[in-house]
């Protein structure tokens, strides 16, 4: 009986501590980062957009393929895409138009189990290709030849992209 009581008390103390810490974090997000409670809830509940890796098999540049997929397949507008990719809307607009010019009706996306979180493309330090290859190499532990076949690029291109990403991360 005493053990049960102690358990309940320690559980309540742990919960109170967690709630106190959560309140401190919410306060910090509001005060120092200018977020409203609605913004905080939205960030917590927002699902991450995932991109099928087969998007990059198309015969357009990686950024063009990504923007075209987001616009045509996900139905996002230019401003939403620019916000998600941390790029200017002018860049996104020009990229989309270049992709449309190159598109001969063969832009497609195969079903795949390998999905890439859109958030990896927000950091401008790496190119879209470097981010993709780095993610596939480190998170999915694919070999260069496997990555090459998945994204429709030469194995040497994949090796170069990965090594550039590693060098840039060390800077």
The CB-side HSE value for 53 (13 A sphere, CA atoms) comes to 22
Q: What is the mean pLDDT of each run of 10 residues along the chain (171 residues)?
A: 72 83 85 76 75 88 93 89 93 94 76 88 92 95 94 94 93 81
Name the residue range of residue 105's domain: 50-170
Percent helix, strand and coil across the chain, each to the nearest 5: 70, 5, 25
The predicted pLDDT at position 14 comes to: 83
The predicted pLDDT at position 1 comes to: 67
- pTM of the prediction? 0.70
The answer to whether residues 41 and 65 belong to one domain is no
The answer to whether residues 140 and 98 belong to one domain is yes
The answer to whether residues 98 and 150 belong to one domain is yes
Q: Smallest Cα–Cα separation from 137: which of 156, 112, 163, 118?
A: 163
The answer to whether residues 154 and 76 belong to one domain is yes
The answer to whether residues 82 and 35 belong to one domain is no
Residue 50, H or E segment? strand 50-52
The predicted pLDDT at position 106 comes to: 65
Q: How many domains does the chain have?
A: 2
The answer to whether residues 18 and 68 belong to one domain is no
The predicted pLDDT at position 42 comes to: 66
């Amino acid at each position: 009986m005493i053990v049960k009581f102690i358990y309940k008390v320690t559980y309540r103390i742990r919960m109170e501590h967690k709630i106190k810490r959560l309140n401190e974090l919410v306060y910090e997000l509001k005060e120092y980062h200018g977020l409203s409670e609605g913004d905080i809830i939205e960030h917590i509940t927002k699902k991450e957009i995932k991109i099928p890796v087969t998007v990059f098999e198309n015969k357009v540049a990686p950024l063009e393929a990504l923007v075209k997929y987001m616009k045509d397949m996900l139905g996002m507008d230019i401003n939403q895409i620019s916000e998600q990719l941390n790029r200017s809307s002018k860049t996104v607009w020009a990229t989309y138009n270049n992709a449309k010019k190159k598109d001969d009706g063969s832009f497609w996306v195969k079903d795949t189990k390998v999905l890439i979180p859109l958030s990896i493309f927000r950091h401008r330090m790496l190119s879209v290709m470097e981010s993709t290859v780095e993610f596939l190499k480190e998170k999915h532990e694919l070999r260069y030849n496997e990555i090459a076949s998945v994204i429709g690029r030469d194995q040497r291109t994949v090796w170069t992209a990965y090594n550039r990403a590693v060098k840039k991360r060390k800077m």
